[in-house]
Structure 1
Amino acid sequence: MLAAVVTGPRAFAVHSVERPEPGAGEVRIRLEGCGVCASNITPWEGPEWMQFPTDPGGMGHEGWGVIDAVGQGVEALAAGDRVAALSFKSFAEYDLAQASAVVKLPDSLDDQPFPGEPLGCAFNIFRRSDIRAGQTVAIIGIGFLGAVLTRLAKDAGARVVGISRRQSSLDLARSYGADEGIVMDDHWRILEDVRALTGGKGCERVIEAVGKQWPLDLASELVCEGGKLIVAGYHQDGPRQVNMQMWNWKGIDVINAHERDPEVQMQGLREAVEAVASGRLDPRALYTHRYGLDRLDDALNDTRDKPDGFVKALVTFEAADA
């Protein structure tokens, strides 16, 4: 099979490697594609803690495809089942997954890509956010995750305020249900705008979905007394400072919404499959750029640089141009 290997900072090669065989309790998936996650960017840049070369297919964890082989003891899945999986070497033509980490995709989704891991993340973050009708919810950072959370929060009956740098992101937020859009360019003006929208109170829920220091600072300011600040951004580029005095004074709950329990991760994935299959959520407009495996570098660089109109990159195992 063909698999991408990241050989050093911002460098990769496509290698021909032996196709893996599923062990007991595992399935092998012939991948149709794999999403590119923002968490891939820092390893791609080559921080001190990163080890090269990666395993074949390494860093890819948003795969979907068709099972072509099952290991001993697997009974609920069979060759030919189209699935989304939580697996970890999916920048390749095939990957292995535990049968317990796989969800069948219904026939109604046959024509759709399905990067299940980020969709499942969104549903788990939404559950942890405890969003209720009548609340004002600010979402800082409208990319793939922010757009899905916008739709879910709006469906829950909240007033949603999207905050993002690019006008195209704010337009995306509105298309997914946001009531208001605020350009993320001036800290104090943003505070004034949100105070005006909330009668000076602030927001009952603030979801930070960027993973940088300033958005975290901004989220702390925007959340109201007794509210919840939900950290959905992936903070992997160094330590953070927080205004603990403000957090104490406001009496807020701070929720790190990154799940590590496999059962919880699977709960989110199952909820995402049901929501997309039922039509409650349509993420297709978010899959804006597609690349072949031989263009993984372009996919990663565009995920970092976000060219105009970019939301989500998919690496697909078929000829496709961005």
Structure 2
Amino acid sequence: MNIVTSALPSRMKAAVVTGAGQMRVDTLPLPEPAAGQVRVALEGCGVCASSLTPWAGAKWMTFPTEPGGLGHEGWGIIDAVGADVEDLFVGDRVAALSYHAYATHDLADKNAVVRLPDQLAGQPFPGEPLGCAMNIFKRSLIGAGQTVAIVGIGFLGALLTQLAVLAGARVIAMSRRQFSLDLAKRMGASETIPIDDHWRIIEEVKALTGGRFCDCVIEAVGKQWPLDLAGELTKERGRLIVAGYHQDGPRQINMQLWNWRGLDVINAHERDPSVYVQGIRDAVKAVQEGLFDPSVLYTHHLPLERLGEALDMTRDRPHGFLKALVMYA
């Protein structure tokens, strides 16, 4: 039998993407958690770049989406638990790895939620991207004394800048936006380089590193040119980390260069939910301990009814934009 609190609302709101660049908000009955599940009354959900290809109406996309579909960066308060859930309780504030979080409520497996400590009360906590940053950093093997180039200073690149600087690395931050370069500098990047001319950037990094290039390069844009650039900036036997979201079509790589330099190429994306959840746990601990501060990176807050605007901002990157949160409470 499900355990619920009294005086709960019986209805929820959920965004439905009805076509390319089109959406509506529906009012629906609240779903009941099955055995091993919890229901989360969401406070908000981060807007991820992975939603942009469906939002653009890719040929493989089917409309309308399921209510709340595409949203996977939610956090909030458990308001119902199903059978066989023993260590989570109504009233617990959690980050959830769920998949219909563009809505006021969503269901999540009991193993896919992470309890948030009182220290983080009142703070937005889109667990999935924060956990993603932790997992990328872990796989990058960044340490003191290394030179690290981060190609693309958006939300993810800014978090990785903070983590790499704290680890004692020299960070060279790159972005097409001066706003992002200024932010990276404030977060401790040793050098910043605008992403403009391919060969000029290569020569500048070559000069900054005495001709050796970088121990580790993190590509965090998700486009062909930055991926090409990242390979050129990685030293012999260095590590090229693919963190950008490359799901809008095939890519070509310079295998001659990668082979000649003996690069270790790491695709830092995960598919195992348990790895994602461990990353969220690591992110909770990192924020508690002051290893990074994501709060300054949430630049835009919009209601559910304006999800379309949040997606457009994520695509267009207006001045001052890093991360949009859709807020429900």
Give the TM-score category using the shorter length: over 0.9
Equivalent residue, structure 1, for 2:6: none
Equivalent residue, structure 2, for 1:236: 247
Contact 2:14–2:68 (Cα < 8 Å) also in 1: yes
Contact 2:219–2:242 (Cα < 8 Å) also in 1: yes
| Residues 84-99 of structure 1 mapped to structure 2, 5 A cutoff | 84-99=95-110
Q: 1:212 aligns with which of 219, 223, 234?
A: 223
**Aligned-pair distance for 1:61?**
0.3
1:308 pairs with 2:319 = yes
Distance 1:175 1:316 in 2: 27
**Aligned-pair distance for 1:87?**
0.4
1:296 pairs with 2:296 = no
Distance 1:129 1:111 in 2: 31
1:279 pairs with 2:277 = no
Distance 1:84 1:177 in 2: 28
1:31 pairs with 2:65 = no
**Aligned-pair distance for 1:261?**
1.4
| Residues 161-176 of structure 1 mapped to structure 2, 5 A cutoff | 161-176=172-187
Equivalent residue, structure 1, for 2:166: 155
**Aligned-pair distance for 1:278?**
2.0
Structure 1: unaligned runs, 5 residues or longer: none
Equivalent residue, structure 2, for 1:270: 281
Equivalent residue, structure 2, for 1:75: 86
1:248-297 deviation digits (Å, cap 9, x = unpaired): 00000000000111221111110000111222211111000010000011
Equivalent residue, structure 2, for 1:57: 68
SS at match of 1:224: strand
Structure 2: unaligned runs, 5 residues or longer: 1-11
Contact 2:302–2:327 (Cα < 8 Å) also in 1: yes
1:167-221 deviation digits (Å, cap 9, x = unpaired): 0000111122211100000101100110111001100100000000000000010
SS at match of 1:236: coil
Which residue type is aligned with residue 164 of structure 2? Answer: A
Distance 2:327 2:263 in 1: 42
Contact 1:62–1:86 (Cα < 8 Å) also in 2: yes
SS at match of 1:284: helix
Contact 2:162–2:291 (Cα < 8 Å) also in 1: no
Equivalent residue, structure 2, for 1:47: 58
Which residue type is aligned with residue 119 of structure 1? Answer: L
Distance 2:224 2:278 in 1: 30
Distance 1:277 1:113 in 2: 13
1:194 pairs with 2:205 = yes
Distance 1:253 1:133 in 2: 19
1:140-174 deviation digits (Å, cap 9, x = unpaired): 00000000000111111110000000000001111
Distance 1:123 1:158 in 2: 16
Instruction: Give aligned-pair identity as a percent.
Output: 67
Distance 2:87 2:184 in 1: 39
Distance 1:176 1:49 in 2: 40
SS at match of 2:237: strand
Which residue type is aligned with residue 207 of structure 1? Answer: I
Distance 1:297 1:260 in 2: 27
Q: 2:149 aligns with which of 127, 138, 160?
A: 138
Give the TM-score taking structure 2 as reference length: 0.96
1:96-138 deviation digits (Å, cap 9, x = unpaired): 0001000000001012100000000000000010111111000
Which residue type is aligned with residue 25 of structure 1? Answer: G
Distance 1:186 1:85 in 2: 41
1:247 pairs with 2:258 = yes
Moved over 4 A (4+): none
Distance 1:58 1:178 in 2: 37
Which residue type is aligned with residue 124 of structure 1? Answer: N
Contact 1:148–1:176 (Cα < 8 Å) also in 2: no
Give the TM-score taking structure 1 as reference length: 0.98
Equivalent residue, structure 2, for 1:317: 328
SS at match of 2:179: helix
Equivalent residue, structure 1, for 2:3: none
Which residue type is aligned with residue 51 of structure 1? Answer: T
Which residue type is aligned with residue 48 of structure 1? Answer: K
